[in-house]
Amino acid sequence: MESSVPLVRRGSGNDVIKIFAYVAASLVLGAIIAPWLYQLGKGLAEVFASKEGNGPIQFIAKSAGRADFPKFFDRALMLSALVLLFPLTSWLRLGRPPGSYRDTPWSLRLPDNVVISDRGQPLRRNPQGWWQFGTGLVLAGGLLLLSGWLMLQAGCFMWKDAAASTRGMPNKFMEEIVLMKAVSKVLPGALVVALIEETLFRGVLLGIFLRAMRPAPAIATLSFLFAFVHFLQPPPMVRVPDPEAMNAGFVLLGQIFGSFADPMSMVSRFLILAAVGVVLAYARYRTASLWLPIGLHVGWVFGMGIFKAATWPVVGLPEAMRWLVGMSLLEGLMPLSVVIVTGMLVHLMTRAREIPADYRS
């Protein structure tokens, strides 16, 4: 008699629901405090921005003075997610024995209460860690920049210091390219973003999802969550009529969710973000470590940052072309194909592991 494995394990699936509840609560709290944060920032700018000095308060005041409401909304979401992370951690540990510091979500190893002995997948020591990190960085960044170069040759982008694109489109905003300055600016941010997001998404959350589900639905569900969180960016040129109104955050949130109804946005950005999430989660699952996904993540962020620092998107291209190539390397079917090819190469370069009996159908 064949035994079937449920899509979501009874009991363990509650943790997945808690994760989605945490995201929803962060959105609501962020929308509530965004107008208050906006008023505080603008008030701080009026008081301190004109004063002499280069202290941290003056720096924050000047930044707040330049920022628009969507920027304050973004910071409000980050603050809400940070504040609610502490009750979430306690919520996930209800009814479970306490562990030491190294067994909490703050360490790079998954906590014991997230991994059952015969379920889930704890992070393991990886003797090939640095090699996989470097390989992932070169693979992701190299393929992305190669695709960017092809788009430059096709006339979809132009060098910032060029007089025109390859198709003769004039460059109205010529600017000098300082490559080393761009590298020194982009690389540290790429490392920080990759470390934080991989520890949270592929380290802690994927461990929770793997305990609750089989690998395929666990990777797919987490990748949807990863894409959804990164898709929560205000549409270009968005305007909120009254940023100080108490409902301003919800007005902006409605505009953001409205972009989900735009087929171009879904194809050009959401599918790519979801594909990136799948490749990163699959790399973590195949290697049982974070070295390879961190390398891939750094490569993608670094490649996009360097390309953006050196090029301008060409405007006025045919609408059909925009389905293939967007305004950045994160938009369009061509970048999506690059991510898919990267995932195939990750599959080939990682050694197949024995799948636990608990996951076999």
Show me where the domains of the chain are located. Answer: 13-359
CB-based burial, 242-277: b 16+ in 10 Å, e otherwise: ebeeeebbbbbbeebeebeeeeebebbbbbbbbbbb
Contact 161, 309 (CB under 8 A): no
Q: What is the pLDDT of residue 285?
A: 92
| Amino acid identity, position 208 | I
Q: What is the pLDDT of residue 49?
A: 58
Contacts of 304 (CB under 8 A, 6+ apart): 144, 328, 329, 330
Spans of the chain, pLDDT less than 50: 1-5, 94-118, 354-361
Q: What residues does 311 pair with on adjacent strands?
A: 159
Q: What is the pLDDT of residue 146?
A: 95
Contacts of 43 (CB under 8 A, 6+ apart): none
CB atoms within 10 A of CB 319: 7
pLDDT tens-digit profile of 52-67?
655 667 767 777 777 7
Cα atoms found within 13 Å of the Cα of residue 360, Cβ hemisphere only: 6
| Sign of the CA dihedral with 283 first, then 289, 292, and 296 last | positive
Q: What is the pLDDT of residue 95?
A: 41
What whole-number distance in Å separates Cα of residue 121 and Cα of residue 109?
11
Mean pLDDT of the chain: 80
Tell which residue, 48, 47, 46, 67, has the closest CA to residue 58. 48
Q: What is the pLDDT of residue 14?
A: 74
Tell which residue, 173, 157, 135, has the closest CA to residue 287. 135
